[in-house]
């Protein structure tokens, strides 16, 4: 039996994030006797060179091979390794370590020549690692734009600087939306047809509305017939949690028994917990952390909120629609994410009370099965996996301008 081809996905990490979750959805659909995924991530504990993440952090042989390198497990570590995937770590890119970072990338691809495709989802440094991979003999290198904005300040400036000319450094350019493609690759590349838009697809059936699950989760959380709002996302600048909490506080002025479910982790979580206390809503907000069963909590919600400053094409919004949820979304989010009539776009320049007004106006509706709508709109990972399979095997990669995956 022929060995599987290896596809390397380059990311910041393999924690519970949007890009990571979509890649894992795709990974689960692959015939791993034919196509195997591996992962190259970035870790501040790696100072130079590269390291391989062992099957367990306590594996003595792995630690010896990696000079005693021990890393706190991330959300998808165990599942990746159970499916036969390898996880490798590079130093985090800090700009000032450009030369040592590039040296580490060169050392990695010199040591690992098994990859047929390198797909770079971390576009901030793809202009460094993709050319190195290509020069090392990787047949196909692809850059994948996953977001349509950058954080403010020096970090955002550096990201844009190192993305310059990225479309010319990759054999293929993918983007999760037109906005993401424009932001990462530029208008010229988009107009020239160099960028293929591939929506962030999900396992639609996993999120289909289930009244029984709704009641079970509500009972678990001590919720009866109250209005329940929800959000899924990392606690960081992009997701705009301060505004979200202000919106919920405005809802509570009209519906004092309303509840808010927040799924996710991140460095801004303590500040948001403190803000809840200041607003007097702490007893109505549930911080539920990262969940492997997030689909169950969508069932318990009545309305999904996404007041982000920017997004590529948010998978969580697709998931919320798959669960039949009414969704209130920032008008900075791409319209391509609207697969159903359940989505309402609002400006985050509006006062929070305006969002609260719309939420209360739309709160009474009948949940429905939206699975077929999502599939017809191109958001089903099972269908998308077929196109990726052809691409990875080289069956649909004749021309990067062909429009074919």
Domain for residue 354, yes or no?
yes
Same-domain pairing of 186 and 327: no
- Residue 404: what pLDDT? 43
Same-domain pairing of 348 and 210: yes
Domain for residue 119, yes or no?
yes
Angle at 183 between CA 181 and CA 189, to 5 degrees: 55
Same-domain pairing of 253 and 161: no
Domain for residue 290, yes or no?
yes
Same-domain pairing of 154 and 253: no
Domain, as residue range, for 317: 204-376
Secondary structure, 3-state, the chain? CCCCEEEEEECCCCCCCHHHHHHHHHHHHCCCCCEEEEEEEEECCCCCCCEECCCCCCCHHHHHHCCCCCCCCCCCHHHHHHCCCCEEEEECCCCCCHHHHHHHHHHHHHHCCCEEEEEECCCCCHHHHHHHHHHCCCCEEEEEECCCCCCCCHHHHHHHHHHCCHHHHCCEEEECCHHHHHHHHCHHHHHCCCEEECCCCECHHHHCCCHHHHHHHHHHCCCCCCCEEEEECCCCHHHCHHHHHHHHHHHHHHCCCCEEEEECCCCCHHHHHHHHHHHCCHHHEEEEECCCCHHHHHHHCCEEEECCCCCCCCHHHHHHHHCCCEEEEECCCCHHHCCCCCEEEECCCCCHHHHHHHHHHHCCCCCCCCHHHHHHCCCEHHHHHHHHHHHHCCCCCCCCCCCCC
Domain for residue 161, yes or no?
yes
Domain for residue 398, yes or no?
no
Domain for residue 324, yes or no?
yes
Secondary structure, 3-state, 19-49? HHHHHHHHHHHCCCCCEEEEEEEEECCCCCC
- Residue 59: what pLDDT? 42
Q: Cα separation of 103 and 153, whole Å?
A: 27
Same-domain pairing of 84 and 184: yes
Q: What is the CATH number of the domain that holds 364?
A: 3.40.50.2000
Same-domain pairing of 143 and 209: no
Q: Cα separation of 29 and 7, whole Å?
A: 14
pLDDT in tens, the chain (405 residues): 579 999 999 999 999 988 999 999 999 999 999 999 999 999 999 988 999 997 544 444 444 456 667 788 999 999 999 999 999 999 999 999 999 999 999 999 999 999 999 999 999 999 999 999 999 999 999 999 998 877 778 888 888 888 899 999 999 999 999 999 999 999 999 999 999 999 999 999 999 999 999 999 999 999 999 999 999 999 999 999 999 999 999 999 999 999 999 999 999 999 999 999 999 999 999 999 999 999 999 999 999 999 999 998 999 999 999 999 999 999 999 999 999 999 999 999 999 999 999 999 998 899 999 999 999 999 999 999 999 999 999 975 434 433 346
Same-domain pairing of 332 and 384: no
Domain for residue 385, yes or no?
yes
Q: How many other C-beta atoms lie within 10 A of the C-beta of residue 61?
A: 9
- Residue 401: what pLDDT? 37
Same-domain pairing of 315 and 286: yes
Q: How many domains does the chain have?
A: 2
Same-domain pairing of 195 and 208: no
Domain for residue 92, yes or no?
yes
State the alpha helices, DSSP H only, in 35-165.
Answer: 60-65, 77-82, 98-111, 126-135, 154-163
Same-domain pairing of 137 and 209: no
Q: Cα separation of 212 and 321, whole Å?
A: 18
Same-domain pairing of 358 and 384: no
Same-domain pairing of 220 and 369: yes
């Amino acid at each position: 039996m022929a060995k599987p081809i290896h596809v390397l996905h380059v990311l910041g990490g393999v924690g519970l994030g949007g890009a990571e979750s979509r890649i894992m959805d795709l990974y689960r659909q692959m015939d791993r006797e034919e196509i195997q995924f591996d992962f190259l991530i970035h870790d501040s504990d790696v100072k130079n060179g590269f390291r391989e993440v062992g099957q367990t952090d306590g594996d003595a042989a792995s630690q010896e091979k990696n000079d005693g390198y021990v890393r706190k497990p991330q959300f998808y570590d165990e599942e990746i390794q159970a499916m036969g995937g390898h996880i490798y770590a590079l130093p985090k890119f800090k700009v000032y370590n450009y030369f040592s970072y590039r040296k580490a990338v060169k050392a990695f691809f010199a040591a690992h020549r098994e990859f047929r495709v390198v797909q770079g989802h971390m576009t901030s440094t793809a202009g460094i690692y993709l050319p190195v991979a290509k020069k090392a003999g990787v047949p196909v290198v692809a850059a994948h734009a996953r977001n349509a904005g950058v954080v403010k300040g020096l970090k955002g400036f550096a990201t844009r600087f190192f993305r310059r000319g990225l479309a010319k450094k990759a054999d293929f350019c993918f983007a999760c939306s037109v906005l993401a493609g424009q932001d990462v690759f530029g208008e010229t590349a988009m107009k020239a047809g160099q960028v293929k838009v591939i929506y962030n697809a999900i396992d639609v059936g996993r999120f289909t509305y289930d009244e029984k699950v709704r009641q079970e989760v509500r009972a678990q959380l001590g919720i009866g017939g109250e209005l329940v709002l929800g959000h899924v996302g990392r606690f960081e600048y992009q997701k705009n949690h301060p505004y979200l909490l202000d919106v919920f506080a405005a809802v509570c002025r009209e519906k004092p028994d309303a509840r808010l479910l927040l799924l996710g982790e991140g460095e801004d979580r303590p500040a948001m917990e403190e803000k809840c206390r200041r607003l007097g809503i702490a007893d109505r907000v549930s911080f539920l952390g990262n969940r492997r069963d997030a689909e169950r909590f969508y069932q318990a919600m009545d309305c999904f909120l996404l007041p982000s400053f920017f997004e590529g094409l948010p998978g969580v919004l697709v998931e919320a629609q798959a669960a039949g949820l009414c969704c209130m979304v920032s008008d900075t989010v791409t319209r391509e994410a609207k697969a159903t009539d359940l989505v309402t776009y609002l400006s985050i320049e509006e006062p929070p009370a305006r969002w609260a007004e719309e939420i209360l106006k739309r709160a009474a509706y009948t949940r429905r099965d939206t699975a077929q709508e999502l599939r017809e709109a191109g958001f089903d990972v099972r269908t998308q996996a077929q196109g990726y399979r052809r691409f990875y095997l080289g069956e649909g990669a004749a021309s990067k301008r062909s429009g074919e995956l």
